[in-house]
A and B are shown apart, each in its own frame.
Chain A
Amino acid sequence: MRTLYQFHGGVHPPTNKTQSTRTPIAPAPLPGKLVIPFHQHVGNMARPLVKAGNRVLKGQLIGMPEDGVSSAVHASTSGTISAIGMAVVAHASGLPDLCATLIPDGQEEWVTHEGMAYRTAAGADVRLALRLAGVVGLGGAVFPSDLKLRSGKHKIKSLVLNGAECEPYITCDDMLMRERAAEIIRGAEIMRFMLDAEEVLIGIEDNKPEAIAAMQLAAAASDDKMEVIVVPTIYPSGGAKQLMRILTGIEIAAGVRSTEKGMQCFNVATALSIYRALQFGEPLLSRIVTVTGNVRNAQNFEVLIGAPVNELVALADPLPDTNLYIMGGPMMGVPLPSAQVSVVKATNCIIAASDKLFPPPPPALPCIRCTRCAEACPADLQPQELFWFAQSKNFGKAQEYSLFDCIECGACSYVCPSHIPLVQYYRFAKSEIRALEHEQAAADLARERYEFRQSRIERDKQEKAEKLAQKEMTALAARQSAATPEAAADNSAQLRIQAAVEHAREQAAAARPKNIDTLTPRQQAEIAEIEARRAKAREMAHPDAGQPKE
């Protein structure tokens, strides 16, 4: 029997999971339109490879991962791309992002694909295959999985498979483990091989007995050292750091990566998509989504990425008083800006909300410093202090109190007797700090460039001055040398030019106008007048030049 450990704090919200586990996972019918965002993962947006009007096949790469942290995007089914443009996406901001609109043709015609021999291929090739298959963490963080599968400088002892699924209402991982345990285990074997880990620890909360049984059965059939570990139900045991703490007793300090402690953690659904990607060459085109809350038939669906949320929710028969859809669970989820947004790789659950199901929070009262939040915090923080600093926009102090270790689990808001929306304050402070850091970096760059430019201008000025001084020096030297007879020869060119100028002047003086031989007295008078005016003008222009030449 393995010794289990505890993390600090945690809460026990009503789980509300049974509603959606009564029926098996159903495939969602092909929607009339798919809107596939190019930025569904952490990191850089994928670069579009298709244009409006292109016909695409199921599984065809339509978004190429761009530099460093990024992942690929694929056509979820065969059909025609009708537009590439901005559309509102499943994001708390409600802002539009670049999406491809795909009109399915209903033929589900696959692009040619095949698996790869991942055990003999080079590690870099396998990771590139995962990157191009668009495999990202499906637990909600959507971090590109290939980057987590690098066997770096730290030896990985335990590969942790996260099947805790602690958040209320959500059952997608539960149903996946019940129905596709064997494939998850195969994925875990691949990951263990890639990381060269000694053991695989699969953590599942004890409120999922069917999933535990299925996973135990599948794990027993594996040749690898795998262990299904039943952990007590407490929110948020599904946080990566919290689960690793429960399973191994190792606490991961702020700023330390779990790999430094010999652990790497993946969601169970990610394991399955890694298996599908490497064994069959199938990119990540669909995921399991729990549709629950204010609906008649809560259920899990296998949904194509890009399917509109309203069509998906309609399958579960929402009640008429539904007024909001939440993506994710009630603790950490975000409200969707509209029901027309599409399902993305991060969409694990859609909760139909109504005022009856989730009554509006009572007005917030002042903090009474009861520190119940500190008792509940699974990251061992001081939420009441963080709240104080975030509220007063004292961001430096908030960072001193490790604001960025907050996992935004909502346990503090849940227990707060004053109903203060604490997580909102932390999110606000975090994004302000990130923006300030970004601005600071931009200012530093501008300062550097400005100072470089100033020094360059200064340098150019100096060089010019030096050149000028040099020229004057040589001219001075030439003038001095002109006085000596040796230099007289050098001045012959100067003399010739002077001679030519003299000659031209003489010629001009000798030339006379040709039409002045027969002049009427009136014309003569006119000419004389003009000449007089000219002479006067010359005198006015050069009063000290003395008499004109003529």
Chain B
Amino acid sequence: MLTALIVMSGIALVLGAVLGFSAIKFKVEGNPLVDKIDAILPQIQCGQCGYPGCRPYAEAIAAGEADINRCPPGGEEGIRKLADLLGVEFKPFGGGTVQKPKAVAFIDENLCIGCTLCTQACPVDAIAGAAKQMHTIIAPVCTGCELCVAPCPVNCISMVVIEEKITTWKWKYPVYALAPVRRSAFGRAPE
């Protein structure tokens, strides 16, 4: 009886020591869950979720403070991925979030007074310009977050929707009906 107790507590002590040691030795820096969530978020940095950027939102989700359905640029696909990652149910958009087509900001260079307010607002440094100099958007790095639109005192920034071009065009999901169809997507061989 006593021997069994001693053996069991001995094993418990040894294993506890091993666990304690490995907890220190193999400690993971930072929160890997935040990184995983951040990787799913679209990095528009628009703040529509109510947090000042994608990473703060990821941190809030990881801490259980924020819902997963606050990111309109990520789309339903993004919510689905977050739900998969976190093991929670998918939920539709909530909290007055609206989805918009992808756009880039455009500065009307005739109106710009060079106040630099937009460059300070841009979360990804996508606006070039200095004080009292005309500003312009570096379109390839603009995420379309719209944060520069509100601060502009002369309303010279507008959002331009990115139109589908031949280089960005995507083949559509095959749709076919029982009735004879217009063969707009001819991909079949003749019989």
- Interface residues of chain B, those whose CB is within 8 Å of chain A, are 38, 41-45, 53-55, 123-126, 141, 143, 164-174, 176-178, 180-181, 183-191
Neighbour of B54 across the interface among A95, A357, A447, CB < 8 A: A447
| A496-548 residues at the B interface, CB under 8 angstroms | none
A432-B170 in contact given A419-B188, A446-B43 (Cβ < 8 Å): yes
Q: Could you list 13 examples of A-B contacts with CB < 8 Å?
A: A335-B186, A358-B186, A364-B176, A410-B188, A414-B188, A423-B187, A423-B188, A424-B174, A424-B185, A438-B168, A444-B43, A446-B45, A447-B54
Given contacts A95-B164, A360-B183, A442-B43, 14 further A-B contacts (CB under 8 A): A39-B166, A39-B167, A363-B178, A413-B189, A414-B188, A424-B185, A428-B173, A430-B171, A442-B143, A443-B41, A443-B42, A446-B141, A449-B141, A450-B53
In the bound complex, how far is the Cα of B170 from the Cα of A185, in angstroms? 39
Closest A-B pairs by Cβ, 9 of them = A446-B43, A93-B169, A443-B43, A427-B171, A414-B189, A431-B170, A424-B174, A449-B124, A335-B186
What is the minimal beta-carbon distance from B9 to any residue of chain A, in angstroms?
Answer: 48
> Are B170 and A449 interface neighbours, CB within 8 A?
no
A413-B187 in contact given A95-B164, A450-B124, A453-B124 (Cβ < 8 Å): yes
Neighbour of A449 across the interface among B42, B126, B183, B184, CB < 8 A: B126
A457 nearest in chain B by CB position: B120
Tally of A interface residues using CB under 8 Å: 51
What is the minimal beta-carbon distance from B146 to any residue of chain A, in angstroms?
Answer: 14
In the bound complex, how far is the Cα of B104 from the Cα of A446, in angstroms? 13
> Are B43 and A447 interface neighbours, CB within 8 A?
yes
> Are B186 and A333 interface neighbours, CB within 8 A?
yes
A359-B191 in contact given A447-B38, A447-B54 (Cβ < 8 Å): yes
* Interface hub of B42, B167, B170 (most chain A Cβ within 10 A): B170
- Interface residues of chain A, those whose CB is within 8 Å of chain B, are 13, 39, 89, 91-93, 95, 97, 324, 326, 330-331, 333-335, 353, 357-361, 363-364, 410, 413-414, 419, 421, 423-425, 427-428, 430-432, 435, 438-439, 442-447, 449-454
* Interface hub of A93, A357, A410, A451 (most chain B Cβ within 10 A): A93
> Are B125 and A452 interface neighbours, CB within 8 A?
yes
A435-B124 in contact given A335-B186, A421-B176 (Cβ < 8 Å): no
Neighbour of B166 across the interface among A89, A330, A353, A450, CB < 8 A: A89
What is the minimal beta-carbon distance from B54 to any residue of chain A, in angstroms?
Answer: 7
Which chain B positions have C-beta within 8 A of A326? Answer: 186
Which chain A positions have C-beta within 8 A of B166? Answer: 39, 89, 91, 93, 95, 97
Which chain A positions have C-beta within 8 A of B124? Answer: 446, 449-450, 453
> Are A335 and B188 interface neighbours, CB within 8 A?
no
Which chain A positions have C-beta within 8 A of B188? Answer: 361, 410, 413-414, 419, 421, 423
What is the minimal beta-carbon distance from A503 to any residue of chain B, in angstroms?
Answer: 40
Neighbour of A446 across the interface among B44, B170, B184, CB < 8 A: B44
Which chain B positions have C-beta within 8 A of A450? Answer: 43, 45, 53-55, 123-124
Which chain B positions have C-beta within 8 A of A438? Answer: 168
Which chain A positions have C-beta within 8 A of B53? Answer: 450, 454
Which chain B positions have C-beta within 8 A of A444? Answer: 43
What is the minimal beta-carbon distance from A443 to any residue of chain B, in angstroms?
Answer: 4
A443 nearest in chain B by CB position: B43
What is the minimal beta-carbon distance from B129 to any residue of chain A, in angstroms?
Answer: 16
What is the minimal beta-carbon distance from A347 to any residue of chain B, in angstroms?
Answer: 16
Which chain B positions have C-beta within 8 A of A419? Answer: 188
Which chain B positions have C-beta within 8 A of A364? Answer: 176
Which chain A positions have C-beta within 8 A of B141? Answer: 445-446, 449
In the bound complex, how far is the Cα of B181 from the Cα of A424, in angstroms? 15
